[in-house]
């Protein structure tokens, strides 16, 4: 890919592109377990809610939003303050060109600067090798970025008339010390 990728914080003007990119994954894949693609209004509500506390980044290529990544609270209890769950979606037409890697590196940098120590990713995987709706690409992508397998849950999601497993992967962003400083909120 010859053009340079611009990573920036998502804004309200991006909502249509976010909804379009995500709709493909909802309607055509088992990468997400949502059955109905949210409209732009719902995507904007989600973006605003997440952006209050965590990075919500977009990738631009030639002035067009072609992907996004964000993190949100892992769980609502105080002891989880240093942990987040991440999500990433890249326009299906520009996958495998470094956009996802560039987005995730920027997301990790932003999270690390906040004091976040753990990134967790929940990834759907196929139960059969020839599954038409999900592959091992996301798992392999995360492995390539240094994530390690933390758990495997069987028959956890049902979509397209079949059951799917999920795996949890994790990546440590920094040392885990006694009496750590609470992470800053965005």
pLDDT of the residue at 3: 74
Asked if 86 and 58 count as a contact pair (C-beta separation under 8 A), the reply is no
Nearest to 81 by CA among 120, 121, 117: 117
Bridging pattern class, strands 118-125 and 83-90: parallel
Rounded-to-integer distance, Cα 186 and Cα 182, Å: 13
Tokens for 99, please give them: 């956009």
pLDDT of the residue at 6: 96
User: Which residues, 6 or more positions from 95, have their beta carbon under 8 angstroms from its beta carbon?
Assistant: none
pLDDT of the residue at 186: 62
Query: Please, what are the domains in the chain?
Result: 5-172 (3.40.630.30)
Q: Check the CA dihedral 28-29-32-35 and report its sign.
A: positive
pTM of the predicted model as reported, rounded to 2 decimal places = 0.94
Other beta carbons within 10 Å of 55:
24
Residue reference for tokens 């999270």: 111
Rounded-to-integer distance, Cα 10 and Cα 91, Å: 15
Burial class (CB in 10 A: 0-12, 13-18, 19+), 54: buried
pLDDT of the residue at 129: 76
pLDDT by position in tens, the chain (length 186): 557 999 999 999 999 999 999 999 999 999 999 999 999 999 999 999 999 999 999 999 999 999 999 999 998 899 999 999 999 999 999 998 899 999 999 999 999 999 999 999 999 999 877 799 999 999 999 999 999 999 999 999 999 999 999 999 999 999 999 989 888 776
Other beta carbons within 10 Å of 27:
12
CA distances from 19 to 41, 43, 65, 89, 93 (A): 9, 6, 11, 11, 15
pLDDT of the residue at 185: 72
| 3-state DSSP assignment of residue 186 | coil
């Amino acid at each position: 890919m010859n053009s340079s990728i611009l990573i920036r914080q998502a804004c309200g003007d991006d909502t249509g592109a976010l909804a379009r990119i995500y709709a493909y994954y909802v309607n055509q894949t088992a990468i997400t377990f949502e059955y109905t693609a949210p409209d732009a209004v719902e995507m904007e509500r989600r973006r605003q809610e997440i952006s209050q506390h965590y990075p919500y980044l977009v990738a631009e290529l030639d002035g067009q939003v072609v992907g996004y990544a964000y993190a949100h609270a892992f769980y609502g209890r105080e002891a989880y303050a240093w942990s987040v769950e991440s999500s990433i979606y890249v326009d299906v037409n520009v996958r495998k060109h470094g956009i996802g890697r560039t987005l995730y590196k920027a997301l990790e940098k932003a999270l690390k600067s906040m004091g976040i120590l753990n990134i967790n990713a929940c990834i759907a995987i196929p139960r059969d090798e020839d599954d038409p709706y999900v592959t091992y690409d996301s798992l392999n992508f995360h492995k390539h970025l240094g994530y390690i397998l933390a758990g495997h849950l069987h028959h956890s999601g049902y979509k397209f008339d079949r059951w799917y497993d999920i795996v949890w992967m994790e990546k440590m962003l920094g040392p885990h010390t006694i009496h750590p400083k609470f992470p800053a909120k965005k």
